[in-house]
Structure 1
Amino acid sequence: MEHTTQHSAAPAPNPGVVVGIDVSKDRLDVAILPGGEAFFVKRDAEGLDALAARLRPLAPEAVALEATGGYETVVAATLGAAGLPVVIVNPAQVRSFGRALGQRAKTDPIDARLIAQFTAMTRPEVRPLPDEATQRLADLVARRRQIIAMIVAERQRQKRFTGRKPTPDRLQKSITRLLEALERELSEVDADIDTDIRGSSAWREKENLLASVPGVGSTIARTLIAEMPELGTLDRRQIAALAGLAPWTRQSGQWKGRSFIGGGRAPIRAALHMGAITAARHNPALKTFRDRLLAAGKPKMVALVAVARKLLTILNAIIRTGKPWDAKPA
């Protein structure tokens, strides 16, 4: 029977014990330091429960996962809900660390151990999830498992009906409709888990990269992470259009009007507007960019929108490359 597990308080962290987890679609490779213990579990509900039960008595000071593009969020949510100190690390930094150690082999156990070694050496900040966030993640993970169990049951029923003579069309259609509804619900729950993890204190990689830019604080960084998962995957024109910062011109026949911005995602545009105001004062590169526009006769609001667009372009490039702000002129 599916239920929400109530976890007791996690044991006090054991200094020196670090866990590295390499996440793939179907499995989790795990390495524990010190000692070098390595094992793997399936990336499903049973595997995650077994992993949490195995790690909790160790009371690790950090359980580190690489940002893998989505597969890590349910893992992080499950382990975080179990009271484990989860931290998401930057894969580019882990790879650079590995090259510095002279590691060239590409096998999952080595990757898991490398993540653990990187975490033990660099000591990324681990901030425990608040109790309410932990409980919400536990509830979301439990609901996800319930939905998956219902999907599995309906698919088994669908399979039993396949090939029967006469074919029970009404039942098949009913099962198909229910499966479609359950798949939609699963997608929504997955999106909620993804948003919660990316906005949580466990998600350090993107937040730290974004906040490296003067003018971008944690609120703006977390808004971008939650509201614009495409950041780093699109070119500068596409990302500006997505935020509603790409200029467009009113035009009718021979008449061509002023350029405007609009559409896109209002929360992102509002966050970037506030970031642009701060950056135009405290970010030397963007202040120079704004002053150059004003000197050319651009209205203040037009210049501010251009700064917001430039700021978004910089942030997009930072996430794409995995490299923090380096203060080069804009």
Structure 2
Amino acid sequence: MVEQTIIGIDVSRDWLDGFCLPEKQRFRFQNSPDGYARLLEILQGMPDDLKVGFEATGGQEWALWRILISMGINTVQLPPAQIKAFALSMGKRARTDQIDAELIARFMAFRPEAGRALPDEKLQRLRALTVRRAQMVDARKRLSAQISACRKQGVSAELEDMDSILKAFIETQISELEQRIEGVIAQATELSAKAELLRSILGIGPVSVAILLAEMPELGRMTATEAAAMPGLAPMAHDSGAMHGKRVISGGRRSLRHVLFQAGLAAACHNPVLKAVARRMKERGKPHKLVIVAIARRLITIANAVIKTGLPWRISSAA
């Protein structure tokens, strides 16, 4: 039975769909300043222990999140993958904004400890910049594939010039974003200190440092197992009775897992300690992808350790 007042909100581009427990009340307001004002009117009449939550939606929830926190309302952001898994566990396959709002509320009642708090202003800016950089890198990747396909088709020189200009523009934008990211890190004492520690780990470059700082502020306050689980690098057991299934990785924060996999590729080649680990695994016949995931998992546990101890990593350090 739910005793605390919980509100799940599904945030879309145009609408805020809400579901309140234990009253089972529904509401819908526009995702606009006027909609925020109407929502606050409802929330201000609710108990002090009120808790509000919504899924991460690529930034559409940030404006509302800031307003609710400024009003002293306990508000958290929830991982979409966990809500999806919760929905499947309840046999819910249909998805609408109203259904999603109810699922979010019921998930919060089931897992009251889940969710991320609103980061401070500098971390918000860093996260926004790293997300935008990832979007631009993805655009560059798609454009490169398009250019390659067009060349095979023998397109005109005029179209090739247009593609080249667009690609140069994207490259400029990425460089500018990277400079801004470095500036945000340099201006924040805590972020700068953490970045310096992370840079000491061979294999973790500037992009990895920025993503780790932006998407994993908990780094240094977790166990090694928790650190590996957050990006989805911890192997999950699939055993039943006498059957021992293959361990697989799943869940976690996708952007973290992607950047750590890239860092694992670099570390397997250039980090003397982890390169030796990778070589031993390959000699035992382990598949390439499994080796890189294992190296990535070691990288994140090392990163967690150096932030926790405040001591830079050295080649002599145990991996």
Larger Rg: 1
TM-score (norm 1): 0.44
TM-score (norm 2): 0.45
